[in-house]
Amino acid sequence: MNDGPQRAGSIDPMLPAPWRIRRVRRNTRDTFTLDLEPVYAGISLPFLPGQFNMIYLFGVGEVPISMSGDPESSGAMTHTVRAVGTVTRVMSRLKRGDEIGIRGPFGASWPVEEAAGKDVVIVAGGIGLAPLRPVIYHILARREKYGRVALLYGARTPHDILYQDELEKWRGRFDLQVEVTVDNVSAGQSWKGNVGVVTSLIAGARFDPAQTIAMICGPELMMRFTMAELKKRGIGDDSIFISMERNMKCAVGFCGHCQFGPTFICKDGPVFRSDRINPWLSKREI
Amino acid sequence: MSIDTLEPLLAEHPFLQGIKKDYLQLITGCAKNVRFEAGHVIFREGEAADQFYLVRHGKIALEVYLPERGSNSILTLGAGDALGWSWLIPPYKWRFDARAIETTQAFALDGKCLRGKCEKDPSLGYELLKRIAVIIAERLHATRLQMLDVYGARE
> Over A83-129, what HEC string results?
CCCHHHHHHCCCCCCCEEEEEEEECECCCCCCCCCCEEEEEEEHHHH
pLDDT of residue A4: 41
Q: Please tell us whether the domain made up of A4-106 is placed in CATH 2.40.30.10.
A: yes
In chain A, residues 216-255 whose CB comes closer than 8 Å to chain B = 218-219, 221-222, 225
Kindly give the parts of chain A with pLDDT less than 70: 1-11, 286
Cα-based angle B64, A194, A212 (whole degrees, multiple of 5): 145
Among the listed residues B32, B137, B15, B17, the one whose alpha carbon sits nearest the alpha carbon of residue B83: B15
Picking from A188, A197, A218, the nearest residue to B146 by CB comes out as: A197
Coil, helix or strand at residue A20: strand
Q: What is the share, in percent, of chain B residues with pLDDT greater than 90? A: 79
CATH code of domain A119-243: 3.40.50.80
Whether residue A84 and residue B153 make contact (CB cut-off 8 A), yes or no, is: yes
As annotated, the residues of chain A forming the CATH 3.40.50.80 domain(s) are 119-243
pLDDT of residue A3: 43
| Beta-bridge mates of residue B110 | B51
Entry pTM: 0.91
In chain A, residues 187-206 whose CB comes closer than 8 Å to chain B = 187-188, 191-197, 199-200, 203-204
Q: Tell me, what DSSP letter sits at residue A228?
A: H
CA distance to partner chain B, nearest, from residue A192 (Å):
7
Question: pLDDT of chain B along its 155 residues, tens only?
Answer: 455 789 999 999 999 999 999 999 999 999 999 999 999 999 999 999 999 999 999 999 999 988 888 888 999 999 999 999 899 899 999 999 999 999 999 999 999 999 999 999 999 999 999 999 999 999 999 999 888 888 876 54
pLDDT of residue A74: 74
A184 vs B: CB within 8 A: yes
Q: Tell me, what DSSP letter sits at residue A271?
A: E
ipTM given for this complex = 0.87
pLDDT of residue A9: 44
pLDDT of residue B153: 64
pLDDT of residue B1: 47
Cα-based angle A276, A279, A281 (whole degrees, multiple of 5): 100
pLDDT of residue A5: 37
As annotated, the residues of chain A forming the CATH 2.40.30.10 domain(s) are 4-106
CA closest to B141 among chain A residues:
A225
Whether residue A183 and residue B59 make contact (CB cut-off 8 A), yes or no, is: no
pLDDT of residue A11: 67
Strand intervals (E) in chain A: 17-26, 31-38, 52-57, 61-66, 77-82, 99-106, 119-125, 149-155, 177-182, 194-195, 212-217, 240-243, 259-260, 263-264, 271-273
Whether residue B151 and residue A30 make contact (CB cut-off 8 A), yes or no, is: no
pLDDT of residue B71: 85
